Amino acid sequence: MFFDLPIAQFFDLIFNFWVGLAILSIILVKQSIKFVPQNRAFVVERFGKYNKTMEAGLNFLVPFIDRVGYDRSLKEQAVDVPSQSAITRDNISLVVDGVLYLKVLDPYKASYGVDNYVYAVTQLAQTTMRSEIGKIELDKTFEEREALNASIVQQINEASAPWGVQVLRYEIKDIEPPRTVLEAMERQMKAEREKRAVILESEGERQSSINVAEGDKRAKVLAAEADRAEQILRAQGEAQAIIAVAKAKAKALDVVGAEAIQEKGQKAIQLELAERAITAKEAIARESSVVLLNDNKTNAANVVAEAMTIINALNENKADA
């Protein structure tokens, strides 16, 4: 049959056959080669059943048999959690919203374990947040926000493990209490600020008084120490002066005594005794109105003897008394 055709038509038919074959080959190659981008995963199905998961790079499929069922991103995703109402432990209604950061760890579970993992995790985050806020009071919701976020993340991860999804972080963006509660909180904060201001002012005054008292005490201590040091130095100076004078007098007496003993020792002794006799007579004169004196007043020996007699008499009278 082909030989009955003209030569030109025969060659046209052969050319069309090869062109069609080339086009079919290109289509088959295109269908069998898949380039998977970085941080993405293709879930491949064969006859509607899971076959394999293709990772980043060059991959091959069987044309008309295999197909890409799901295209999953392995990047971290930020999902907005809609605002919702929650009631605290002390029965205060709050409007809370947040943001959820999640990542697909297992593309197979994320594709076949749940219909829409983003929606499922978002709903789970809302219910968990309501449950956690109901366990604490209003004041704690502001103070323990980090602990609240960590608790929500832990509970979501426990529930979302079969979905092949991991929640990395959960952040509460805003907490809106009722208007009446806001006004009461503003009044409370104002009172707290005024109280802290008064306390700080009183603490400042107290510290100032303490500093002034400490300064006065330190000044008095320093003044007393200075006076004491001055008195010690003055006493030491006077003592050294007295010692010096005493040494000089002692030296002079030694010199004078040596000379007097050598030359006129006897006369010096008699002079000393005469002075004691005069002193004794003065004492007798104070105690008695009558004093008897020896006629020979010029004799030193008599004066001395008389003085000794008077002194002995006075001593005996005092002993008897």
pTM over the 0.75 mark: no
Q: Look at residue 165 in the predicted model and tell me its pLDDT.
A: 92
Residues 165-196 pLDDT 10s: 999 999 888 888 878 777 777 787 888 888 88
User: Between 207 and 269, whose confidence is greater?
Assistant: 207
Which domains does the chain carry?
2-72 (no CATH), 77-177 (3.30.479.30), 263-320 (no CATH)
Beta carbons of 143 and 75 less than 8 angstroms apart? no
Residues 56-98 pLDDT 10s: 888 888 888 888 889 899 999 999 988 888 888 888 888 888 8
Kindly state the average pLDDT of the residues 269-279: 61
Kindly state the average pLDDT of the residues 108-121: 90
